Amino acid sequence: MKERILEKAADLFMRYGIRAITMDEIAVQLGISKKTIYQFYTDKDKIVEAVVDKLISGNEERCVSFTADAENAVHEIFMAVANTSEMLRGMNPMIMYDLEKHYPKSHKRIRDFKYRFLYEAVLKNLERGRKEALFRDDMNIGIVAKHRVETAFMGFNQDIFPHAKFRVNDVLFELAYLYLYGITNAKGRKLVEKYMQKNVQKSKHGLYE
């Protein structure tokens, strides 16, 4: 039951945003009473925390698998972008705003993931790309990694990319494309074109659809 509650809450949050969903709505969708929910989660904050923790844990596991399964450092980035895009598909872009404004503990968890795990993962990828002679040797990878981590979340910033005008996935694609061409050398860019072409055959948006 605890897992059912968590899955339903995550689904509703993704579709409608966090603030829009009440404990009553979760109970109705599951066909149970609120009292049953309170047996497992004392309040909505605890559900949000559990959902965020599960999403982060899943992403950490997938990032590790990308490193192991990718053909090279360029391919690893394509796999990561595709994973993020799939996660964002159908996701209400107000989720990040809701977390920042109303659920500080969960928002801090995402910030910790961003500046701890994700930053280290980007650094390792940059180092891998250098060893494989696919990335530029003349860049400061510490600066580049921080830039990548920040831009990876930029699509949620309504001050920069209003959601009424820009799709989060469109922003993700364009920023990832710029990043790839900024870090690769001539050999690496050939691989970028190779993977782009493979994806373009499936969809006009290449990297993420």
Which tens digits make up the pLDDT trace of 99-152?
Answer: 999 999 999 999 999 999 999 999 999 999 999 999 999 999 999 999 999 998
> In this structure, is residue 208 part of a structural domain?
no
> In this structure, is residue 51 part of a structural domain?
yes
Contact between 74 and 134 under an 8 Å Cβ cutoff? The reply is yes
List pLDDT tens digits, range 50-69. 999 999 999 899 999 999 99
Contacts of 180 (CB under 8 A, 6+ apart): 74, 77, 192
User: What is the spatial distance between Cα 75 and Cα 39, in angstroms, rounded to a whole number?
Assistant: 45
> In this structure, is residue 206 part of a structural domain?
no
> In this structure, is residue 81 part of a structural domain?
yes
User: What is the spatial distance between Cα 86 and Cα 68, in angstroms, rounded to a whole number?
Assistant: 20
> In this structure, is residue 186 part of a structural domain?
yes
> In this structure, is residue 37 part of a structural domain?
no
Task: Give the CATH number of the domain where residue 56 resides.
Answer: 1.10.357.10
- At residue 207, does pLDDT exceed 50? no
List pLDDT tens digits, range 178-189. 999 999 999 999
Model confidence, pTM: 0.84
* Number of separate domains in the chain: 1
How much of the chain exceeds pLDDT 70, in percent? 94
Q: Which domain holds residue 103?
A: 44-200
Which CB contacts under 8 angstroms, 24+ apart, belong to 118-122? 118/63, 118/149, 118/152, 119/145, 119/146, 119/149, 121/63, 121/67, 122/148, 122/149
